[in-house]
Amino acid sequence: MAEDDEEPPTSKLLSFDTDSSSKSPKPPNLTPKLILIVVTCVAAAIIIAFGFLFFSSSSSSSHQPDVVSRPLKKLKHPVVLLISSDGFRFGYQYKTDTPNMNKLITNGTEAQLGLIPVFPTLTFPNHYAIVTGLYPAYHGIVNNYFLDPDNTTGGEAFNMKSYDPKWWLGEPLWETVVNHGLKASTYFWPGSEVNKGGWTCPQFFCKVYNGSVPFEERVDTVLNYFDLPSDEIPSFMTLYFGEPDHHGHKVGPDDPRITQAVERVDGMIGKLIRGLEERGVFEDVNIIMLGDHGMVGTCDEKLIFLEDLAPWIEIPKDWIQSYSPLLSIRPPPSYSAKDIVTKMNEGLKSGKVQNGQYLKVYLKEELPDRLHYSASGRIPPIIGLIDEAFKVEQKSSKRKECGGSHGYDNAFFSMRSIFIGRGPKFARSRKVPSFENVQIYNLVTTILNIQGASNNGTISFPKTILLPNH
């Protein structure tokens, strides 16, 4: 609370000499010289006041916040460049000097406390949520790996190289864009290799994932798109970097090597900015830089072993679809999922299971509603929520290692990532509250002035982030 301004002391009226011997007061004897002095002082005060107002107004007008979006200077149509830095935990930007990201932040809009991922906070579910505006239960990619619920005994399974469109529900942004007669390009984004709807993953504008491609080559390819004739420049582009996630898993979020990975990503942003400036289009491009999830440190002393539950219930290995950080269990139909959950929680609460208090098991329909993780047959009937930094394994081992992981409850602050928007549709130096990444889809369609598909984002949300049209 600001302190109250101290009131100025009461001004005293100037008294003029009078003839004390006179019985009645006489008016002050204002000589012409005194009148001239008073008038001069008043005039000077007026001039100073007007001067102050004028320069104050001029100064403030030159720094007035953006009211409407800025007109394009060179490009003939709006362009959105969506950049993902995988595993960029919110706060990494403060670990080291990031001048290029800071350039985007200073001249753009930032989620002040980070971007909130969807649950589970894994790479594929979140990247596809960003481009469809749907929670995983609705876009179909409920985990990085999962079994086909129609055949769970050795049947077909989804993995990160599954390109059959039957897995990928919803309408991703590249499909929405081409359905409106515009061009889109993707440089590595989960789901972009899938031929779906009007999107055929055209060779020139769609790159099939290859992690060995240098970051520099990825940036150069995107920059080359801006050398095309105006009507050939894609309206929507994606660019993906696998750092700092790669190092995060190896060494955790607090190792000096993470700082180096962050610096590398910032260097690529600098290369991109310079390339756009050289082409005279930097001010025209709406850049959205974000991450898919955060990262938390894990060590082997923070383990929970399912074999320790044997006195209460046996959990065979072939029931498990994923262990950590999301425990997913699909028992055979002959078993009662409810009974399994009851017995597991009984053992976990007994105090006789190592770290048992850090795992709670649910029927999927009883998970907290805020997770939006029940309305799909692809989600196994039993889900275990693991506390931050803990892991679940089938049985004990003698491994001694530390690293990093993600996939935990998206309420954990460590799972947050970043959001930066910079371009003609984003206000400069603006901070906005955190929001879920399912809102990104509607942001992009609003910038491109196209009608998006039905999604879980809020229709009115873009108005809270974007500048209105000029």
Exposed e or buried b for every residue in 299-312, given b needs 16+ CB within 10 A? eeebbbbbebbeeb
Given a contact cutoff of 8 angstroms between Cβ atoms, the answer to whether 236 and 80 are in contact is: yes
DSSP label at residue 436: B
Would residue 123 show up in a list of annotated catalytic residues for this protein?
yes
**Which is the catalytic residue, given 123, 152, 186, 238?**
123
Give the distance between the most distant pair of CA atoms in the chain.
121
Query: Which DSSP helix (H) or strand (E) runs through 269?
Result: helix 256-278
Name 393's bridge partners. Answer: 305
DSSP string, 101-166: HHHHHHTSEEETT-BBPPSS--HHHHHHHHHH---HHHHS--SSSEE-TT-TTT--EE-TT---TT
Query: Which DSSP helix (H) or strand (E) runs through 362?
Result: strand 359-363
Assign 258 to helix, strand or coil: helix
1 class by beta-carbon count within 10 Å (0-12 exposed, 13-18 middle, 19+ buried): exposed
Distance CA 392, CA 305 (A): 6
Between strands 109-111 and 146-147, the pairing is unpaired
Closest listed residue to residue 111, CA positions, set 418, 356, 425: 418
Residues in the chain: 470
Which residues are part of the catalytic machinery? 123
